Chain A
Amino acid sequence: MVNSIILNAATRLLVALLLLFSVFMLLRGHNLPGGGFIGGLIGATGFILYAIAQGAEATRAALRVEPQNIAMVGLGIALCAGGFAAFFGEAFFTGQWLFIGETEEDKGLPISSVLVFDIGVYLVVFGSILTLVLALEEEV
C-alpha cells in the first residue's frame, strides 16, 4: 500500500476503465486481437493497481468474492462450455453456435459456447493472478 493522493485519485478512474477495457478485449477477441487470456490479465491489472493504492484488505472488500473462488468458477464455466456439445451428440469441446436475427446477408448476433469458454478462461486468469498477488501483498 502506497500513500499517494495522486495514485489514489487516479486509481478510482483507472480501475473502472481497465475493467471495462478488459471486457471489451474479451468480447472482440474472436475476430480482433484480444480474448479471455488478455482480458483476464488486463482486469487483474486493474485490481492490482487498486491493491497497490488501497491495500489488499480494501481490494478483497471491493472484489466481494474470494479471487480463488472466481478462478474455480471460471474453470467450471469452461468445463460446462466444453461439455455442452455432448447434448448435441458431438465431441467434447466442439463449438456450438447460435445466430440471433440471421438474414441472407448478415449472420446476426452470434452467441456461442466458444464465447462462454473464453469467459471461463477470463475468470480463471483474473482469479488466479489476484489470488497470488493478494496473498503475496498480505504475506510480505
Chain B
Amino acid sequence: MASNTAEVPRKAGGPAGWISVAVPAALFAWFLQYVGPVSEGEQILLGIDWVPSMDIRLSVLIDGLSLTFALLIAGIGTLVTLFSTAYLGKHPDYPRFVLFLMAFMVGMLGLVLSDNLIALFVFWEVTTISSYLLIGFDNASAKSRRSALQALLLTGAGGLALLAGMILLGHVAGTFELSEILTQGEAIRAHPLYVPIVILFLLGAFTKSAQFPFHFWLPNAMAAPTPVSAYLHSATMVKGGVYLLARVNPALGDSELWFWTLIVAGGFTTVFASLLAIRQTDIKQVLAYTTLMALGALTLFIGTGSPDAIKGMMVFLVVHSLYKAALFLMIGIVDHETGTREVDRLRGLGRKMPLTFLGGALAAISMAGIPPFVGFIGKEFLYKAGLGHEQATVWITGTIFAASALMFVAAGIAVLRPFTGRLSDTPRPAHEGPWVMWIGPLILGALSLGFGLFPDMVERFLVAPGTWAVYGDYDYTVDLYLFREVNAAFLLSLATFATGIVLYLVHARLRAALARIIAANPVKFDPGWDRLIDGIKALAAWQTRHLQSGVLQRYMLIVFATLTVALGGTIWAQGALDFRIDFAAEFDGLLFKHWAVLIFITAGALLTAYTGSRMTAIAALGVVGIGVALIFIMFSAPDVAITQLLVETLVVVLVAVAMLKLPNLNLGDEPRRPGHAVLSIATGAVVSAVLIAVLQGDLDRRITDYFEVASWPDAYGRNIVNVILVDFRALDTFGEIAVVVIAALAAYALLRGTRYGGDAADKDGGR
C-alpha cells in the first residue's frame, strides 16, 4: 500500500511556481497606479452590490492605510513565493502549498481593502482558515497539527467576538460601510453600546495579532514552513489585527477605555516578548518573539493616538514588514543550506554565504535601529511620540526603550553571531543558496537602506496618507527626516545603542538567567491552553454520557419533559393561562359527527395505552392519527388532511415492518409506569392549554389575507397551501426537502452500516 507520491520527481517551480510569483507581482503593479491619487489625499471607493437586501456590499476602500498594506502584501508576497519555488519546489505537495498561499493572499488583500464590515469579516476568516492549513502543512507532524489547531481555535474564537462587535457597530452606525462609519466617531463613542463594541473588537484584534494574553499561538505557529512564517506570521496576517485597530481608530479611538487597554496590553506584550526573544536558541523562534514585540509596539502606538504616535506607528509598520520578512527569509536560507537554526551551532557563515549575509545584515541594522536605515527613523518617531504624550510618558517611552535595546540584542543574535567568527560544523556543509532565495532578503534590505536615505519618498507615498487615514484628519502635515537636531529622542537612541551593546556582550548569561526565571514561573500559557482544551473535551464527554444514554425511552422522556416544562413555563410566565372557557356553550356547538370523531380518537388513545400487543398498539395509534385527519377534513383543510392520512399510513407500515421481527412480548406483563402516565397527561394538558390560549386572542390574519389575495394574481395558483410551498416560500421548502434527503440517507447508512458491519465480522470469524 506504500504510496509513491513522495518519490515522484518534480521540476523545481513548475507551472504552480511561476503562477504563484506572477499573480502577486501583477497585483503589486496594479496597486502602484493608486499611489499617486492616494498621496494627494484621495479616498477611492469601488464596489458592487452583493446582498442588497441585507445591506452587504462587496466594496473596496483604497486609502493610505489599506494601500500601504496592499503594497506590502503583494510586494512581500512576490518575494516570498519566489523564495518558495526553491525552498519547497521539490516538495510533493508544492501545488497545494501554492493554492493555500494564494488563498491566503486573496483573503488578506480582501481584509485590508474591504469597505464593508461583513465582507471584511469574511476575508478575516479566510486568512484564519488558510493560516490553519499553512501552519499544518507538514501534516504528518503532531506538533504542526496541534499548533495549527491552536491558532485556528484562538483566532477563530476572536473572529466570532469580532463578528458580534461588527454587527453591534453596524447597528449603532446604521450602516456596514466603513467609509461612512468612520465619520461618525462622536455618535458611536456616546452610544451605550460603545463599551461592548470596543471589547469585542479588541478580542478579535488581540487574538489575531497575538497580544498578551493571547500571544502563545504565534511562536507555535512557527511550525509552518519558513516562507509561511515570513509572510503570514510576521509581515501580513498577524498585522491583520493591527490593521483593524488602525482602521476603526477614527470611530472607536479617543476614549479612556481604548487608550488604557491598548497601551497596557501593547506595552506589556512589547517588553514581555522582547525578553522571551532573548531567551530563545532557535533563531526562527527569536524572530517569532521579536514579531510579537513589534505587534505590541504597533498596538501601543495606535492606543496612544496622538498624530506623532500614529505617524510613528505607520513608519514602524513599513520598517518592520521589510526587515522581518528579510530576516525570516534569511533564516530560511540558512536552515535550507546548513540544516540547523540553532544559534550555538552556527558561526562564520558570512564567507560561505556572502549574499545572504548582506541581505540579512542590511535588515538587521534596520531592526537594530542604526542610522541611516529606516529603522532608525521609525525608532526616533516612536520615542518622539512617547516623550510628547502627557498622560503616560514614562510607560510608553520606557517600554519602547527596553524593547529597542532588546531588539538590538536580538538583531545581533539573529545575524551578527551566525555569520561572523570562525566557521562551525553544521549538519550540511554551508553554501550559498540559489538566486531566487537570496534576492528577497537583498531587495528588502536594500529598501530598508533606501527608505532611510530618502525619507521624503516614504513620507509622501506611504506614511502621510496612512497617517491621515488612521488619524481621521487629512489636514495634518507629516514630516519625516533622518536627522535634524540633537534632542531628547536622539539622546535616547544613543542610550539605546549603548544599552544594546552591553546587553549583547552578556547575552549568553542573560539568556541563562531568563531561562531560570521562566522555569520558576508557575503561570504557563501553552500548557494552560492544553488543560483548557482537555477540560472542554471532558465536559463534552460528561454531558454526552448523561444525555446520550442510547435508550429510546429516556430520549423520549427528555424530549417531552423539556417540551412540557418549556411550553408550560412560558405560558405561565406570560400570564396566558388566565382564560375562562364556557364549556357548556362550547360543547353545545358540537355536531354529532364531531362527537363521533372525538370518541374515535379517545378510544384509539386509550387502546394504545392499555393493549397488551404491540401490533394493536401501533394500529390504535394509527386510528388516533386518522381521527385527527378527519378533524382537518371537517374544518376544510384538505391538503393537510391528505398529508396526515398518508403519513399515518406510512408510519403504521414502517413501524409494523420493524415490529413484526421483534420477539412477541406480552406488554400486559410489563410493570405499569405511573411516572410515564404523569408526563403524558402533563404534556397533553400543556399542549391543550397552549392551543386554548392561542384561540383566546385575536389571530393575526394579515399574512393569511395577503396569501389569499396574492395567490392567484401573483402566482397563478388557487391552492394557497401549494402556492406557499412551491412559490412564496419555495426556499423554505427547498431546505425542508434537503433535510428529508439527508435524513433518509443517514437512516439508510445506519441500517446498511450495521448489516455490513455484521457480515464483515462474520467473515473474519469464519477465517
On A, residues with C-beta under 8 Å from B are 29-38, 41-42, 44-45, 48, 52, 68, 71-72, 74-75, 78-79, 82, 92-93, 95, 97, 107, 110, 112, 114-115, 117-118, 120-121, 124-125, 127-129, 131-133, 135-140
Contact = CB atoms under 8 A, between A and B. Distances in A.
Q: Which of A82, A118, A139 has the most CB atoms of chain B within a 10 A radius of its CB?
A: A139
11 contacts: A31-B717, A32-B719, A35-B719, A38-B643, A41-B646, A41-B647, A74-B741, A117-B733, A118-B722, A131-B744, A140-B657
Contacts of A45: 646, 649-650
B470 to A, nearest CB: 39
B650 A128 contact: no
A34 B719 contact: yes
Given A37-B643, A75-B738, A79-B734, A110 B744 contact: no
Contacts of A31: 717-719
Contacts of B660: 140
B741 A128 contact: yes
B716 A117 contact: no
Nearest to A2: B660
A60 to B, nearest CB: 13
Contacts of B755: 138-139
Contact of B737 (A33, A38, A125): A125
A6 B649 CA distance: 20
Interface string B727-767: 10011011001101101110110011011000000000000
A93 B729 CA distance: 9
Contacts of A34: 639, 642, 719, 722
Contact of A78 (B642, B734, B751, B754): B734
A82 to B, nearest CB: 6
B457 interface: no
A33 B722 CA distance: 8
B552 interface: no
B717 A135 contact: no
Contacts of A36: 725-726
Interface string B638-657: 11001100110110011001
Contacts of B737: 74-75, 78, 120-121, 124-125
Given A124-B740, A125-B737, A131 B745 contact: yes
Nearest to B754: A139
A68 B653 contact: no
Interface of B: 638-639, 642-643, 646-647, 649-650, 653-654, 657-658, 660-661, 715-719, 721-723, 725-727, 730-731, 733-734, 737-738, 740-741, 743-745, 747-748, 751-752, 754-755
Contacts, number: 143
A42 B642 CA distance: 10
B716 A30 contact: yes
A36 to B, nearest CB: 7
B629 to A, nearest CB: 12
A140 B748 contact: no
A38 B747 contact: no
Nearest to A48: B653
Contacts of B658: 136, 140
A49 to B, nearest CB: 9
A35 to B, nearest CB: 4
B725 A42 contact: no
Point out which of A35, A48, A68 has the most chain B C-beta atoms below 10 A from its C-beta: A35
A33 B731 contact: no
Nearest to A122: B737
A38 B654 CA distance: 18
Instruction: Name, among B638, B643, B733, the residue most crowded by chain A CB atoms within 10 Å (CB to CB).
Output: B733
Nearest to B646: A41
Contacts of B740: 71, 124-125, 128
A14 B744 CA distance: 25
A71 B744 contact: yes
Contacts of A92: 731
Nearest to B655: A136
Contacts of A37: 643, 725
B726 A121 contact: yes
Interface core residue of B654, B721, B731, B751 (most chain A CB under 10 Å)? B751
A135 B751 contact: yes
A72 B741 contact: yes
A31 B216 CA distance: 65
B687 to A, nearest CB: 24
A107 B716 CA distance: 10
B657 A68 contact: no
A140 B755 CA distance: 10
A114 B715 contact: yes
A121 B733 contact: yes
A2 B436 CA distance: 77
Q: Which of B647, B725, B726 has its CB near the most chain A CB atoms (within 10 A)? A: B726
A2 B639 CA distance: 32
Contacts of A124: 737, 740-741
Contacts of B752: 135, 139
A40 B654 CA distance: 16
Contacts of A107: 716
Contact of A38 (B639, B661, B731, B734): B639
Contacts of B649: 45
Contacts of A127: 741, 744
Contact of B650 (A48, A82, A114): A48
B657 A33 contact: no
A115 B638 CA distance: 20
Nearest to B647: A41
Nearest to B755: A139
A38 B741 contact: no
